Amino acid sequence: MAPQDKPLAAPALPPSAVEGIKTRSRHLRGTLVASLADALTGALHPDDAQLCKFHGFYQQDDRDLRAERQAQKLEPLHSFMLRVCIPGGVLTSAQWLILDDLSQRYGDGGLRITTRQAVQLHGVIKRELKPTIAAINRAMLSTLAACGDVNRNVMAAPLTNSAKLTETLQRTARDLCVALAPSTGAYHEIWLDGEKLSESDPPVSEEPLYGPTYLPRKFKCAIVAPPDNDVDVYTQDLGLIAIADGDNLIGFNVVAGGGMGRAHGDDSTYPRLASTLGFCTPDQALDTARAVLTAQRDLGNRGERHHARLKYTIDRVGLDAFRSEVESRMGFAFQPERPFVLGTTLDRHGWFELAGQTHLQLCLPSGRVRDDGNQKLRQALHELASVHLGDIRLTGNQNLILVNVASKTRKKINAIVERHGLLAPHSGLRLSALACVAFPTCSLAMAEAERYLPSLITLLEQKLEALGLKDEPIVMRMTGCPNGCARPYNAELALVGRAPGLYDLYLGGNRSGSRLAKLVATNLNEQAIVERVTTFFERFAQERNSGEAFGDFCVRAQAVNS
Amino acid sequence: MPPNDETDLTALSPEQRDALDALLATLSPGQSLLVARWVLARFDAAALAEDRLERASGLTAPSPQGLTVLYGSHSGHSAGIARQLATAARQRGWAVKLADMADYSRGTLRRERNLAVIVSTHGEGDPPESAAAFFEFLRGTRAPKLEGCEFAVLALGDKSYVKFCKAGADLDVDLERRGGKRLLARVDLDVDYQDGANVWVDAALKAFEPRMVAAPGTVAEAAQPRKARFSRDTPWSAELLHRVDLSGRGSTQHFIHLELSLDGSGLKYHPGDALGMRPENDPTLVAQLAEALGQSEQTEVDALGSCCSLAEALTRRLEIQKVSPSALRRYAGLGAKALDRILDDPEATTKYLDGRDWLDVLREHPAKIEVNQFVSLLPELASRSYSIASSQLEHADEVHLLVSRVHFTAHGRGRQGVASSYLSDRLRLGESARVWIEPNTQFRLPEDSNQPIVLIGAGTGVAPYRAFLEERAAAGQSGKNWVIFGNRQFQADFTYQTDWLRWRKDGVLTRMDVAFSRDQAQKIYVTDRMREQGRELYAWLEQGARLYLCGDRTRLAADVDRTLVEVVMTHGNQSHDEAVTYVEKLRSEKRYSKDVY
């Protein structure tokens, strides 16, 4: 351990514009009330458009219509994406039905399951934000801190080999969400007609954990139960890897500093997998999380937002120094890491038994729940939720599990599943694929993702089928920009958008999500993507070892420089 | 008449002054007055308006010595450099205008003399989305000549893309192609642009500097032809430059914005004036009528006392959609006997004529008549008049209109308004409409540029208010402006929304209240907003505000009158009679002006 004569500090940089907005916001109040009341625009005041993220929503506009409306002397067609925090992805059927109803009443008619086990409503207009958020809270859910420079929705393994262990981990996720939530009264004041604070500055005591400027950047936590890695633990700012003995949780291996985002053309930004800090016991977990979060709060880069995530903080101060900082904040030391083995990041599909219970897992392409022509997925889930008695759990792969299906409802549920063709055979590639939202609503999107991936997969499936690889599970992910919302950089095969119709190709991540993929080619159009990827598929079909996964093959065969 | 203190003749050369003095010495007072009147009449409004133009452009448009920093930005980098340059230029005491291509007023481009441009490139060589329209404009037929304009372009881009800095390169070429002179070679910068940007900013300051300190140049505008007297009988052929349906998707109506050229006409108008226009009938309907008459369209006919083809008569000269009861009676007298039963009952006649045109009549009640007999039944095609939606301070050679396109179905056939469909559908870009100015002296901005104004309007009634705000913004008038506007849906029917937002941001539009009737179960109208904001409205009136009302005569005007009285009663603590008197007084003091139709 280095001598602590020189305490660690944040980079000495002038604060970024967003830091100024947070500082002036009086604990996230800003001028949101005035912005909501401004009838001349469907948008928020620019500062409030930053602050609203902390309240759980993003301002977006229909980019397909931008040019048309500009010519019509109309402002962009603004609407809002609302994200609902769902710790561990656990919902009751009744809550699902409420969210579904809200999407019909105030949203664009559909729901999206996110890569963090949360649910998004899209297309909510400004004057309907308040009734929507109020209704979400009445359903015992919240949007607070679903986005913004705070701890986001805490992920947890939706199922493990032990029902008791699952419950312990889920409870830990809920406790973490509560312990790391902002405590400002702004949310209640604005959305739930809570008592208004006077115009003066709020007391410091209102926000003891975060202070007036919150975190330098978003902060993501997840709890994983080996061997499954469906929460993709190495991509998190803080990961807790459960070490258990049957039903009993012994403690967690703590990893920190994962993150996907990077920027095109800027090598000082990069994806990074989380590093191991050590082991802690279950009763130390909340203190550990608080210590990591506050260390990042005080040491993170507040001058450059693209260098503000925890991963850059750890690389700047060094892992050992960061660990010491966390330990001094916790008041105890980490124990040595315990052995464990991670299997796959992929989900199951269909009916399965686990820990003496029967579950049904449904694969939802890109987590998109909506009625689309003959494919009435929204209607199907509405029917299922009306019948199913147990929980619904969402997965980090944007899928959905009906947990502990009672034997008396199985027949009804099977009938719904069959009527809607929910278990139709899909290729391994399609079942494993993830895509971010991208166009038309995401303001960061440079290329299509969710709207385009299904048709690209169709092209690739033809090649895979010809090679006898139709059922091969291959972790494939696509994003419309380099920020990495669908976690492309540790996938076996990933496409990252650069411009409309042009993508960078990454290969060589592994199924367990513990290895980064490598950049193989840049600026590929569809034809080039299919050609390049097919070349690798062909070699894989001919040269693979028995049971070898695609990403592992790419590395072994030096198809990518690893 | 000897020059007095207020008449400044120093604008004349000594020789001119001597000549004038010599002439005046020979004139009697009466003759002097005649000459003075003659000079005024000769230059009258045209000259005054031009004078006003020049004064105004001195206030807001760049002076010949000023620098305009124009940027197109997506993620804010270009905007940042633009601000850096503008700040540095202002510190040197230069007149600087900083403008975003997204809301840059196109009309001022032709007056730019010193233009520094910073623009980024995205995707496959495209400009930022918000600048795309400006790029299109610069490449289009409406782009002005830029002779006398010197420019410098800084292009931002990302070398990992194939078409590095292409948008900046394109703009650089386009500015030169329009006649601009390149003051600095274009500079292209990669993602690590800041050092290069600093160098460019310094270079740009150095390059523009000599032009900033130069003596006031003589960049006089090309001499305008003297005001011509275009009228209904001798209309100006105004080329259609631009047309767009302002109603967004999901709208139940079509508000068409048109931009017509006055270039070369010398026509001058004031905000509040109307544009007279002679519409044309639908040639399809004309062809159907000719067929129903069993005539070739080329048949010579006598229309209103002069000979022309049937097509010309029915398309451009005569009214063919509206049928009057008396014309119907004359038609029946020519052989359509079956119509007599309808004509015997006035109510039945009205009912029959509702939604029917001459084609219906000819088809339902054919009669063997001479083509000239038929033509003689038709009155002259009436001219139309539309409130002008633009100011010449902003669009010197253009006039803008807002037209509601009327389409409906009656008696099994699709129908359309003669003029609205002519302007919205049939008149093509590049073709000309027959127009003239119809002054409306009752509906003008206050003489006092400090007087607050409250502009109440619904639907297309908002058109003159766009002209008012353009004028007040361009002239830098300091009076407060309050618009109360109503339409159907916020998302699709907020007519000229981006203009209002820009004026609000610039501080020109003091406040605006909007009522969108169909956005909620309970309909909300402008009168509801007047009531809600009654206290403030009364306060403005007490501060001397002038009130305007424009829109539908039957649906809007009476309600607004009534509401105004209510507001004065409630917030002025007055009885009903007192409030009525108060509103009457506003009217007699010319502080309550209406343009209703």
Using DSSP bridges, classify how beta strands B407-410 and B413-416 pair: parallel, antiparallel or unpaired.
antiparallel
B40 — pLDDT class (breaks 50, 70, 90) = low
| Interchain contact B158–A (C-beta under 8 A) | yes
Q: Residue B36 has what pLDDT?
A: 65
With beta carbons under 8 A apart, name residues in chain A contacting B501.
Answer: 40-41, 75
Residue with tokens 């079956």: B338
Instruction: Measure the CA–CA gap between B421 and B256, rounded to whole angstroms.
Output: 10
With beta carbons under 8 A apart, name residues in chain B contacting A523.
Answer: 160-162
For the record, the structure tokens of A235 come out as 């991509």
Neighbour tally for B206: CB within 10 Å: 10
Instruction: Measure the CA–CA gap between B313 and B371, rounded to whole angstroms.
Output: 11
CA–CA min distance A38, chain B (Å): 9
For the record, the structure tokens of A500 come out as 């409309």
Instruction: Measure the CA–CA gap between A469 and A461, rounded to whole angstroms.
Output: 9
- Verify whether the Cβ–Cβ distance B124 to A502 is below 8 Å: yes
Higher per-residue pLDDT: B44 or A445: A445
| Interchain contact B532–A (C-beta under 8 A) | no
Q: Residue A560 has what pLDDT?
A: 67
Would you call A221 a catalytic residue per the annotation? no
Biggest alpha carbon distance in chain B?
A: 90
For the record, the structure tokens of B550 come out as 């424009």
- Verify whether the Cβ–Cβ distance A73 to B499 is below 8 Å: yes
Q: What are the tens digits of pLDDT across the range B444-455?
A: 999 999 999 999
pLDDT at B118 over 50: yes
pLDDT at A209 over 60: yes
CA–CA min distance B471, chain A (Å): 18
Would you call A152 a catalytic residue per the annotation? yes
| Interchain contact A480–B (C-beta under 8 A) | no
Cβ burial A268-306 (10 Å sphere, 16+ → b, else e): ebbbbbbbbbbbbebebbbbbbbbbbbbbbbbbbbeeeb
**HEC per residue, B111-128:** HCCEEEEEEECECCCECC
Instruction: Measure the CA–CA gap between A444 and A446, rounded to whole angstroms.
Output: 6
pLDDT at A347 over 80: yes
∠ CA A352-A355-A358, nearest 5°, is 35
Q: Minimal Cα distance from B492: which residue of A? A: A74
C-alpha dihedral (B192, B198, B203, B209), degrees to nearest 10: 150
| Interchain contact A44–B (C-beta under 8 A) | no
CB B484 within 8 A of CB B545: no
With beta carbons under 8 A apart, name residues in chain B contacting A127.
Answer: 519
Q: Residue B13 has what pLDDT?
A: 66
Of A159-168, A437-446, B126-135, the one with minimum mean pLDDT is B126-135
| Interchain contact B161–A (C-beta under 8 A) | yes
Instruction: Measure the CA–CA gap between A131 and B42, rounded to whole angstroms.
Output: 65
Using DSSP bridges, classify how beta strands B384-387 and B274-278 pair: parallel, antiparallel or unpaired.
antiparallel
Q: What are the tens digits of pLDDT across the range B378-412?
A: 999 999 999 999 999 999 999 999 999 989 999 99
- Verify whether the Cβ–Cβ distance A75 to B498 is below 8 Å: yes
Instruction: Measure the CA–CA gap between A473 and A512, rounded to whole angstroms.
Output: 12
- Verify whether the Cβ–Cβ distance A39 to B513 is below 8 Å: yes
Q: Residue B7 has what pLDDT?
A: 44
Of B444, A278, A491, the residue nearest A504 (C-alpha): A491
For the record, the structure tokens of A464 come out as 């895979």
Q: What are phi and psi of A259, to 5 degrees?
A: 170, 145
Which of helix, strand or coil describes residue A186? helix
| Interchain contact A63–B (C-beta under 8 A) | yes
Q: What are the tens digits of pLDDT across the range A34-87?
A: 999 999 999 999 999 999 999 999 999 999 999 999 999 999 999 999 999 999
B349: left (phi over 0), alpha (psi -120 to 50) or beta: alpha
Catalytic-role residue among A52, A85, A147, A442? A442
Q: What are the tens digits of pLDDT across the range A120-130?
A: 999 999 999 99
- Verify whether the Cβ–Cβ distance A499 to B124 is below 8 Å: yes
Which of helix, strand or coil describes residue A351? strand
CB B473 within 8 A of CB B512: no
**Average pLDDT, integer, range A309-314:** 98
C-alpha dihedral (B33, B37, B38, B40), degrees to nearest 10: 140
∠ CA B542-B545-B548, nearest 5°, is 130
With beta carbons under 8 A apart, name residues in chain B contacting A67.
Answer: 129, 132-133
Q: What are phi and psi of B375, to 5 degrees?
A: -60, -35
With beta carbons under 8 A apart, name residues in chain B contacting A268.
Answer: none
For the record, the structure tokens of B536 come out as 């403030």
Q: Residue A561 has what pLDDT?
A: 60
Our separate counts of H helices and E strands in chain B read 21, 21
CB B526 within 8 A of CB B488: no
Residues 6+ apart with CB under 8 A from B240: B258, B259, B260, B261, B427, B428, B429, B430, B431, B432, B433
**Average pLDDT, integer, range B66-81:** 88
CA distances from B468 to A184, B266, B330, B388, B444 (A): 46, 21, 47, 10, 8
Q: What are the tens digits of pLDDT across the range A239-269?
A: 999 999 999 999 999 999 999 999 988 999 9
Half-sphere exposure of A376 (CA within 13 A, CB side): 11
Q: Residue B61 has what pLDDT?
A: 39
Instruction: Measure the CA–CA gap between A152 and A145, rounded to whole angstroms.
Output: 6
- Verify whether the Cβ–Cβ distance A75 to B497 is below 8 Å: yes
Q: How many CB pairs under 8 A join A and B?
A: 77
Of B414, B312, B310, B316, the residue nearest B360 (C-alpha): B414
Beta-bridge mates of residue A497? A503
| Interchain contact B245–A (C-beta under 8 A) | yes
Catalytic-role residue among A22, A112, A220, A297? A220
Residue A245: alpha-carbon gap to chain centroid:
29
Instruction: Measure the CA–CA gap between A533 and A551, rounded to whole angstroms.
Output: 12
What does the DSSP assignment read for B172-231?
A: HHHHHHTT-EESS--EEE-SS-HHHHHHHHHHHHHHHHHHHHSPPP--PPPPPPPPP---
Instruction: Measure the CA–CA gap between A82 and A261, rounded to whole angstroms.
Output: 22
Of B150, B189, B144, the residue nearest B168 (C-alpha): B189
With beta carbons under 8 A apart, name residues in chain A contacting B498.
Answer: 70, 73-75
Instruction: Measure the CA–CA gap between B238 and B261, rounded to whole angstroms.
Output: 5
Q: Residue A198 has what pLDDT?
A: 66
Half-sphere exposure of B438 (CA within 13 A, CB side): 14
B45 — pLDDT class (breaks 50, 70, 90) = very low
Catalytic-role residue among A217, A481, A487, A554? A481
Q: Kindly tell me the burial class for residue B78, based on how many C-beta atoms sit within 10 Å of its own C-beta (0-12, 13-18, 19 or more).
A: buried
CB B310 within 8 A of CB B295: yes
Q: Minimal Cα distance from B500: which residue of A? A: A40
- Verify whether the Cβ–Cβ distance A73 to B133 is below 8 Å: no
pLDDT at B51 over 60: no
- Verify whether the Cβ–Cβ distance A73 to B490 is below 8 Å: no
H or E segment and range at residue A254: strand A248-256
What does the DSSP assignment read for A84-119?
A: EB-GGGEEEHHHHHHHHHHHHHTSSS-EEE-TTS-E
CB-closest option in B123, B495, B500 to A500? B123
- Verify whether the Cβ–Cβ distance A74 to B494 is below 8 Å: yes
Q: What are the tens digits of pLDDT across the range B216-237?
A: 433 333 344 444 479 988 999 9
Q: Residue B428 has what pLDDT?
A: 96
Would you call A280 a catalytic residue per the annotation? no
Query: What is the pLDDT of chain A when averaged over all its residues?
Result: 95
Q: Which amino acid is at B378?
A: L
